[in-house]
Amino acid sequence: MASRKELIRAIDYILSGEPAKAHEIVQRNEMDAKACYIHAVLHRLEGDKENARYWYSRAGEPEWPNSDPEGQLLRLREELVFQP
């Protein structure tokens, strides 16, 4: 299971334009649903929709989210920061 700090770092890398660093983190943690979700958003931002769909499914999110990718990341980041 990925640590909250690692996942937050991956989100921050994506939002700051460093997707390769984020990719390293989520690939190391591909058994973690939240890491899979971040991985899905990362591929969505890269325009790789089929790969994004795969990772959304791995995250337990079978439907393509309607919200924008950055918004998804910000909501997940907030959830991770304030998670008990």
In order of their start, the domains of the chain are 4-82 (1.25.40)
pLDDT of residue 18: 97
> What is the pTM (predicted TM-score) of this model?
0.92
Q: Over the stretch 20-79, which tens digit does the pLDDT of each residue have? A: 999 999 999 999 999 999 999 999 999 999 999 999 999 998 777 777 899 999 999 999
Cα–Cα separations (whole angstroms), residue 14 to 10, 31, 35, 84: 6, 20, 13, 24
pLDDT of residue 79: 93
Q: What is the rounded (10 degree) CA torsion for 4, 9, 37, 51?
A: -150
Per DSSP, the three-state class of 57 is helix
